[in-house]
Amino acid sequence: MPIRGIVRAKSVKGVVSDTNAPFYVDSDDNIPYIIPAGTGTSEIPFVLGLAGVTGAKIAAGSGVLVSGVATVATGLTTVKGFAGLVNTPAPGTYLTGVTEVHGLNITSVTTGSVVLQGVFNSLATGAATASVSGTAGFRWVAIGT
């Protein structure tokens, strides 16, 4: 059976393409890096947010805002970091009504749960405004213990 491993080097090995995202462990700082885009050379530390967190775990999933809010039960005991991305309607779709959602705000983090509020761009004020009745699908990732 062949031996498999992750490349350990001073720089990325491999070609970046639509179907390949090079991944390696930097031999200088021992941090795993990846180039996730289909093109380019921008290396991103792979889960660098876990550095120094003993017993760190990653959780991820998807959800739906109902009436502009959602509570995400991450399954973690303590949430150290959280990110969410609206995926329906499609990112980049310009919507302006109170029932539309462009983004997510974290309103609270309690133990392993995160409460989210949908926001939209107000034509009246030009500011991000809380959605009171919007629905939207979203993806999320959390880091914690």
Sequence spans of domains, the chain: 1-46, 57-144
Q: How sure is the predictor about 75, in pLDDT bands with cuts at 50, 70 and 90?
A: very high
CATH architecture for the domain at 57-144: Sandwich (2.60)
Helix (H, G, I), strand (E, B) or coil at 85: strand
Q: How far is CA 66 from the centre of its chain?
A: 20
State if pTM tops 0.95: no
Express each pLDDT in 3-58 by its tens digit: 666 777 777 777 787 777 777 777 776 677 777 766 777 777 666 545 555 677 78
Dihedral over Cα of 51, 23, 30, 7: its sign: positive
At 144, give phi and psi (nearest 5°).
Answer: -175, -155
